[in-house]
Amino acid sequence: MLVRAGSLFTVVDGEGEEMDQGAMMRYLSEMIWFPTAFLGDNISFQPMDDKSAQVTLADHGRSVTGTMYFDEEGRLTDFVAKRYRTVEGGYDLETWSTPVIEYGELAGLKLPIRGKAVWKLPDGGLEYIDISVTELEYNAAKQ
């Protein structure tokens, strides 16, 4: 996985099993913004109760699983999973959460427009992203 800020400097440049797992897990959690991806043959669901389900993404012989939590209206409220976190000199498998804070309309769909990413560490939560989506375009024509 290669992440650059403004194409100017490298934020993350990693590879390996842990990095692959982390990237797949992030992708699985971000599928909420393109919900038809949940209809793919590589996605499976296992209901847990009336307000939660495990979702699994499989790709190229690898898979990741997280738990999706829903409110009374069936809207996603949180995604929780074990995900590798980069730490000094390696990786730790930690509980990771991406709660949905607010819903709105984007591209004609009712979707999350604000959410967070939080590591649930033994000494407390580490919130590292608070994102607001203001615009979303599907299959945009190339100019």
Reply yes or no on whether the pLDDT at 13 is more than 80: no
Q: Compute CA distances 138 → 35, 43, 110, whole Å.
A: 11, 21, 14
- What is the residue extent of each domain of the chain? 2-132
Q: Compute CA distances 14 → 11, 74, 81, whole Å.
A: 10, 36, 21
Percent of the chain at pLDDT > 70 equals: 87
Reply yes or no on whether the pLDDT at 10 is more than 80: no
Query: What pLDDT digit, counting tens, does each position of 37-53 carry?
Result: 999 999 999 999 999 99
**pTM recorded for the entire structure:** 0.86
Residue 132: enclosing H or E segment and its boundaries? strand 124-132
Query: What pLDDT digit, counting tens, does each position of 44-101 carry?
Result: 999 999 999 999 999 999 999 999 999 999 999 999 999 999 888 889 999 999 999 9
